[in-house]
Amino acid sequence: MYRTTLTWVSSFYSDPPSSCSAGPSGDDLFHWQATIMGPGDSPYSGGVFFLNIHFPTDYPFKPPKVNFTTRIYHPNINANGSICLDILRDQWSPALTISKVLLSICSMLTDPNPDDPLVPEIAHVYKTDRPRYEATAREWTRKYAI
């Protein structure tokens, strides 16, 4: 088990996404903290978002539990920081790395999926009034992520 854990820790450090960082929280290799820089082509630009990553003992055969600790206005992320992302649920594969998970989350910030929302009200605003969605997302980014 220890060797497997070291393998996935080192795989992250050998292939880190450019806009993200992550690593163990203290001595617990099953609890990581991550940081995502808001993508420049999104209303989250300039924001710094913090996430918790909890690895189950049977990782990589089960997905990690990832949640935002920074508040964010997004149709796929709720007030508790839970993330609606298929690769963290039914589309998980042991071949996915934490780098790929964080890149997928970054991509979701640029391109939300309003057809599979965790917050239907925000998805509705995204679909019907994009300028209002982007203004609110920018406002929340300034308020909570800077």
Supply the residues annotated as catalytic: 84
Q: Centre a 10 Å sphere on the Cβ of residue 86 and count the other Cβ atoms it contains.
A: 11
Number of alpha helices (DSSP H) and beta strands (DSSP E) in the chain: 4, 4
Give the separation between CA 143 and CA 118, rounded to whole angstroms. Answer: 22
Give the separation between CA 55 and CA 67, rounded to whole angstroms. Answer: 12
CB-CB contact of 29 with 56 (8 Å):
no
Residue corresponding to tokens 């099953």? 30
